Amino acid sequence: MKKRILNKELAEVVAQIRHGEMLFIADAGSGTSAKALHPLDSSVQYIDLEAVTGSPSMQDIVDVLVDVGDFEGAIVTEDMLELNQRDYQFLVEKLGEKNIHVMHYIPEYYEMRDRCKAVVQTGDYGVHAQCILIAGYPSADIPMDWLKYGITRKGLEEAAKRKA
């Protein structure tokens, strides 16, 4: 059976997302309220898909999004590599190892979350069962420094340093 997105808000975001924009796929423990340790920026759309403990999982959501949308890569934390190899390997299988970018967890990962188009909250209780999906299409990949810093002087300088 062909996969499709049934949630209206999520389908709308996937239809509107453009190259270089990002979706944060959050586990059940990701704080998103104004009272969270790192509150979610109010400009980021919040989509709550939690149904019951463990469902849907991060893998359930990523599997559908990658199959129906245009996503070229993902960003994960160093902690996922250490504590959640199962989900990390799933992302590698879906997107290819060269398309998985690893970054420091606090505060950098949450700063990236606040640059995402939307946060999709899952019911996943896995340790660091979260990722940032990077929208793309068949063209040159976007340099990670541009994703981190935007197409700013700093982003361009960081990308140039890494190429040298």
Residue linked to tokens 């990390």: 88
Residue with the bigger pLDDT between 135 and 147: it is: 135
What CATH number corresponds to the domain at position 132? 3.40.1650.10
Structural domain includes residue 62: yes
Structural domain includes residue 116: yes
- Average pLDDT estimate for 119-143: 89
Rounded distance between C-alpha atoms, residue 79 and residue 161, angstroms: 26
* pLDDT confidence of residue 123: 96
Structural domain includes residue 2: no
Rounded distance between C-alpha atoms, residue 7 and residue 50, angstroms: 12
- Average pLDDT estimate for 140-159: 74
pTM (2 d.p.): 0.88
* pLDDT confidence of residue 138: 60
Residue linked to tokens 């463990």: 54
For residue 126 the two structure tokens come to: 């896995």
Q: Rounded mean pLDDT of the chain?
A: 91
Is the predicted pLDDT of residue 110 greater than 90, yes or no?
Answer: yes
- Average pLDDT estimate for 122-150: 85
Alpha helix segments (H runs only) across 84-141: 85-95, 110-113
Structural domain includes residue 48: yes
Is the predicted pLDDT of residue 35 greater than 80, yes or no?
Answer: yes
- Average pLDDT estimate for 133-139: 82
For the chain, helix (H) and strand (E) counts, in that order, are: 7, 6
Structural domain includes residue 58: yes
Structural domain includes residue 51: yes
How many domains does the chain divide into? 1
Structural domain includes residue 3: no
* pLDDT confidence of residue 139: 67
Structural domain includes residue 1: no
The domain of 150 spans 8-163
Alpha helix segments (H runs only) across 106-152: 110-113, 144-149
Distances (CA, A) of 65 to 25, 81, 155, 163: 10, 22, 28, 31
- Average pLDDT estimate for 63-82: 96
Find out whether 116 and 23 touch, Cβ atoms under 8 Å.
yes
Find out whether 6 and 64 touch, Cβ atoms under 8 Å.
no
